[in-house]
């Protein structure tokens, strides 16, 4: 069946649209890079158990936080999920806020070799010691083609670009020239872009609800695993602030404010990506 792609920033109400579509004979498939990790149901606003009971859900919470899960990993999991949906006669409703996932599924993914952990750790250490601005400046100087299309305000994107350059001697833009055919060609698409002020207010209320639902206990359980803080799961939006509180560095009020601010900034970056890369998608009002 023809897939339905639903994209938008965190807190935009995408799940309501996905559930409505899936209730008519579909399966909801996650396209959010944080919601893939087990242990972060509350913090990442994964679908509730009640929502999961209304329609099949796939690729939510299926990855151990100790694993470094990539867009390539997600594409492989997505390919299996699409095959299962086709065999079951279910329409895939792919929903999330990770623009890179949607781009990879609909435009293809470059065959970039795996970056050695030593290179990754070295770039991460430099990011901490020198700061984002210094590394963004370096990327612009060494690989202007990649820098021209990169989100230079996103530390993960800048670090990734430098990792690939260090490990392979080639920039991301060069590798992308070898991109293969996309996994998803023809599909229905929906982009949800709420008014910014309303979205920010909604996100602030949502984090207050998370506190009431036990997000601090969720963070405590994750912290108890003593995982590498550089892992993507440990850098989920809002997690560093909660960890700082649990470590006694800041009070809960300060942690909550940092988490709210980080979430608003994240949503802003998602909307910037969407307006730049998905502007031709049909728009829908926030759910």
Residue 92 marked in a binding site: no
Alpha helices in 26-116 (DSSP H): 49-52, 71-88, 99-107
Residue 142 exposed, middle or buried by CB count within 10 Å (0-12, 13-18, 19+): middle
State whether residue 6 is helix, strand or coil: strand
**What is the CB neighbour count within 10 angstroms for residue 127?**
18
Distance of CA 50 to the CA centre of its chain: 23
Residue 8 marked in a binding site: yes
Residue 20 marked in a binding site: no
Residue 9 marked in a binding site: yes
Look up residue 189 and give its two tokens: 């698409």
* CA separation for the pair 208, 184 (Å, rounded): 37
Residue 15 marked in a binding site: yes
79: left (phi over 0), alpha (psi -120 to 50) or beta: alpha
Contact 163, 123 (CB under 8 A): yes
Residue 248 marked in a binding site: no
* CA separation for the pair 127, 229 (Å, rounded): 14
Starting at the edge strand that comes first in sequence, how are the strands of the sheet with 91-96 ordered? 57-58, 26-30, 91-96, 4-7, 188-192, 283-284
Q: Tell me the CA distances in angstroms from 98 to 32, 80, 176, one per residue in order.
A: 5, 19, 18
Residue 268 marked in a binding site: no
Look up residue 188 and give its two tokens: 């229905």
E strand map for the chain: 4-7, 26-30, 57-58, 91-96, 188-192, 283-284
Binding residue positions for substrate? 10-15
Binding residue positions? 8-15
Binding residue positions for ATP? 8-15
């Amino acid at each position: 069946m023809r897939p339905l792609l639903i994209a938008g920033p965190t807190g935009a109400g995408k799940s309501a649209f996905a559930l409505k579509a899936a209730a008519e004979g579909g399966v909801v498939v996650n396209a959010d890079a944080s919601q893939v990790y087990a242990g972060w149901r509350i913090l990442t606003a994964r679908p509730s158990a009640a929502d999961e009971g209304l329609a099949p859900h796939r690729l939510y919470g299926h990855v151990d936080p100790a694993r470094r899960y990539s867009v390539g990993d997600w594409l492989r999991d997505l390919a299996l999920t699409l095959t299962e949906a086709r065999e079951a006669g279910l329409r895939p409703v792919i929903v999330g806020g990770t623009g890179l996932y949607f781009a990879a599924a609909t435009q293809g993914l470059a065959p970039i070799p795996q970056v050695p952990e030593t290179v990754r750790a070295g770039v991460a250490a430099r990011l901490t010691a020198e700061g984002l601005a210094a590394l963004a400046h370096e990327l612009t100087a060494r690989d202007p083609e990649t820098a021209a299309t990169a989100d230079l305000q996103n530390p993960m994107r800048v670090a990734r670009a430098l990792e690939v350059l260090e490990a392979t001697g080639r920039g991301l833009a060069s590798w992308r020239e070898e991109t293969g055919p996309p996994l998803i060609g023809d599909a229905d698409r929906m982009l949800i872009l709420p008014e910014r002020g309303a979205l920010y207010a909604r996100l602030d209320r949502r984090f207050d609800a998370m506190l009431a639902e036990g997000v601090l206990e969720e963070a405590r359980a994750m912290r108890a695993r003593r995982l590498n803080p550089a892992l993507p799961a440990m850098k989920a939006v809002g997690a560093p602030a909660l960890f700082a509180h649990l470590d006694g560095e800041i009070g809960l009020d300060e942690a909550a404010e940092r988490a709210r601010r980080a979430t608003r900034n994240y949503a802003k970056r998602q909307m910037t990506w969407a307006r730049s890369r998905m502007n031709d998608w049909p728009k829908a009002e926030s759910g």
